[in-house]
């Protein structure tokens, strides 16, 4: 006989409610449908019949039944969250949504201040729920719950280093709210706020499920806000008050160029200068002379010669890799390398332009390939180890 999984059984609390509903004349299928709302493992009608036949089970009180029904009706069918069981996550999402909506409101000027305050609340509730589910005590002897800053310092904090730096910076802004007016900083810290939104959506989905994403709920999301060319130009000339510049300096204090470039610290839009795979392309460039361009007001076209981006011919690549690595690297090895790492197609391929744009580009005018500095750095790093060097040398051509 197959053993019954415990998840498919009624709990003691459910059984007494089922007993009371049967006494009220509810049908088996109606009771089954109610019990299964929000349940990870559903029950079948046989479990209700078992309760009906078991005379040792007492019926729950009227109050207990009323609360049970109210709780079952409190599930959000889209997110699966329950007002009674998941209040922190519900409030967390609401705080983040309100922060974004206020920041994007054209009629309000208290944007930076409110955003910094509300996202601190949103992240605090989010991490509280995470630690509660991990059975971590979040309330101290003084009755106060863990602060966001305390959770960010824990060794088991689920956030990346870039996310922590982003929240540390926003906390500094929040702490300054009661002392200074920060209205003219809205545009200055937009990249940091964009990163905060993207980080939040990523973490809540990873920790609690894809259904909790805010991406489909916000009609206008801060992270997708767009500026036209006139606005961008105006921002470059904007006079930032000294007190805001001073706070901005504090936000950057102790951060390396790599930290500042971390997309989880502050968001950046990268404009590609050549064709890229769809998975890497975030912007589409349309030539002003095309039919599509006639319907688009803001066209950004930037030209940069391939010689600047991919200056090295194969012979130069071979010489530089040998020089920088201190190892023998031949033309044959280079062919093995670009085939192993798919830097470019084979000779005679019908799509010669189908290269890895990080490393290589095809020149239709003279039918050959040149390589980037990044390709040379990559090869030097690969052959620095015996395993990497052997892997390249073992590639069949």
What DSSP string describes 148-174? Answer: HHHHHTSTT--S-HHHHHHHHHHHHHH
Say yes or no to pLDDT of 106 above 90. no
For 280, the 3-state DSSP assignment is coil
Say yes or no to pLDDT of 223 above 60. no
Task: Give the pLDDT mean for 22-37.
Answer: 91
Strand partners, 370: 361
Question: CA-to-CA distance for 211 and 125, rounded, in angstroms?
Answer: 18
Q: What per-residue confidence (pLDDT) applies to 175? A: 77
Task: Give the pLDDT mean for 32-42.
Answer: 88
Say yes or no to pLDDT of 200 above 70. yes
Say yes or no to pLDDT of 6 above 80. no
* Token pair recorded at residue 115: 């955003």
For the ranges 3-12, 40-49, 202-211, the lowest mean pLDDT is seen at 3-12
pLDDT confidence bin for 364, thresholds 50/70/90: confident
For 222, the 3-state DSSP assignment is helix
Cβ–Cβ under 8 Å, residues 48 and 32: yes
If phi > 0 it is left, if psi is from -120 to 50 it is alpha, else beta; for residue 326 that is left
Task: Give the pLDDT mean for 93-98.
Answer: 91
Task: Give the pLDDT mean for 276-280.
Answer: 46
Task: Give the pLDDT mean for 302-316.
Answer: 75
pLDDT confidence bin for 298, thresholds 50/70/90: very low
Cβ–Cβ under 8 Å, residues 212 and 187: no
Q: Which residue has the tokens 């559903």?
A: 42
Percent of the chain with pLDDT over 90: 41
Percent of the chain with pLDDT over 70: 72
Question: CA-to-CA distance for 95 and 118, rounded, in angstroms?
Answer: 6
Return the closest-CA partner of residue 362 out of 373, 385, 346: 346
Helix/strand/coil percent split, the chain, to 5: 50, 5, 45
Task: Give the pLDDT mean for 177-186.
Answer: 56
Question: CA-to-CA distance for 126 and 362, rounded, in angstroms?
Answer: 48
For 361, the 3-state DSSP assignment is strand
Residues in the chain: 397
Q: What per-residue confidence (pLDDT) applies to 263? A: 53
Task: Give the pLDDT mean for 341-367.
Answer: 89
Say yes or no to pLDDT of 287 above 60. no
For the ranges 204-208, 286-290, 305-309, the lowest mean pLDDT is seen at 286-290
pLDDT confidence bin for 258, thresholds 50/70/90: low
Task: Give the pLDDT mean for 188-215.
Answer: 84
Q: Kindly state the DSSP code that residue 133 receives in the 8-state scheme.
A: H
Say yes or no to pLDDT of 288 above 60. no
Q: What per-residue confidence (pLDDT) applies to 159? A: 93
Return the closest-CA partner of residue 329 out of 317, 341, 338: 317
More confident residue, 232 or 102: 102
For the ranges 160-164, 275-279, 318-322, the lowest mean pLDDT is seen at 275-279
For the ranges 130-139, 310-319, 360-369, the lowest mean pLDDT is seen at 360-369
The residues, ordered by sequence, that sit 6+ positions from 387 with a Cβ below 8 Å of its Cβ are none
If phi > 0 it is left, if psi is from -120 to 50 it is alpha, else beta; for residue 143 that is left
CA distances from 353 to 18, 38, 276, 283, 299 (A): 67, 52, 11, 20, 25
For 368, the 3-state DSSP assignment is strand
CA distances from 113 to 108, 169, 184, 250, 370 (A): 11, 13, 11, 17, 50
The model scores a pTM over 0.75: no
The residues, ordered by sequence, that sit 6+ positions from 260 with a Cβ below 8 Å of its Cβ are 252, 266
More confident residue, 156 or 194: 156
């Amino acid at each position: 006989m197959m053993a019954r999984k415990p998840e498919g059984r009624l709990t003691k609390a459910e059984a007494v409610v089922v007993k009371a509903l049967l006494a009220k004349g509810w049908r088996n299928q109606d009771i089954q449908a109610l019990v299964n709302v929000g349940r990870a493992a559903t029950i079948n009608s046989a479990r209700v019949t078992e309760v009906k036949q078991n005379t040792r089970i007492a019926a729950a009180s009227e109050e207990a039944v009323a609360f049970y029904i109210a709780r079952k009706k409190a599930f959000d069918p889209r997110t699966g969250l329950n007002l009674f069981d998941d209040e922190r996550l519900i409030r967390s999402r609401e705080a983040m949504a309100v922060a974004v909506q206020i920041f994007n409101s054209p009629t309000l000027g208290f944007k930076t201040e409110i955003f910094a305050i509300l996202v601190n609340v949103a992240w605090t509730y989010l991490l509280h729920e995470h630690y509660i589910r991990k059975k971590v005590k979040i309330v101290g002897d003084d009755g106060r719950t863990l602060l966001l800053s305390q959770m960010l310092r824990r060794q088991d904090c689920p956030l990346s280093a870039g996310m922590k730096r982003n929240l540390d910076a926003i906390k500094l802004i929040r702490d300054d709210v009661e002392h200074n007016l920060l209205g003219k900083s809205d545009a200055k810290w937009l990249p940091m706020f964009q990163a905060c939104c993207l980080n939040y959506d990523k973490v809540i989905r990873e920790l609690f499920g894809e259904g909790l994403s805010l991406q489909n709920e916000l009609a206008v999301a801060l992270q997708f806000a767009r500026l036209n060319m006139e606005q961008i130009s105006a921002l470059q000339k904007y006079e930032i008050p000294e007190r805001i510049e001073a706070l901005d300096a504090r936000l950057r204090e102790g951060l390396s160029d790599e930290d500042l470039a971390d997309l989880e610290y502050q968001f950046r839009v990268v404009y590609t200068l050549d064709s890229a795979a769809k998975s890497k392309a975030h912007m589409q460039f349309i030539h002003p002379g095309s039919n599509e361009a006639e319907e688009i007001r803001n066209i950004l076209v930037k030209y940069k010669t391939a010689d600047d981006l991919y200056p090295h011919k194969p012979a130069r690549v071979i010489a530089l890799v040998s020089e920088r690595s201190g190892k023998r690297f031949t033309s044959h090895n280079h062919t093995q390398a670009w085939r192993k790492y798919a830097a470019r197609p084979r000779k005679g391929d019908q799509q010669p332009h189908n290269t890895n744009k990080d490393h290589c580009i095809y020149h239709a005018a003279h039918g050959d390939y040149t390589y980037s500095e990044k390709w040379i750095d990559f090869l030097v790093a690969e052959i620095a180890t015996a395993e990497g060097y052997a892997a390249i040398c073992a590639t069949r051509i």
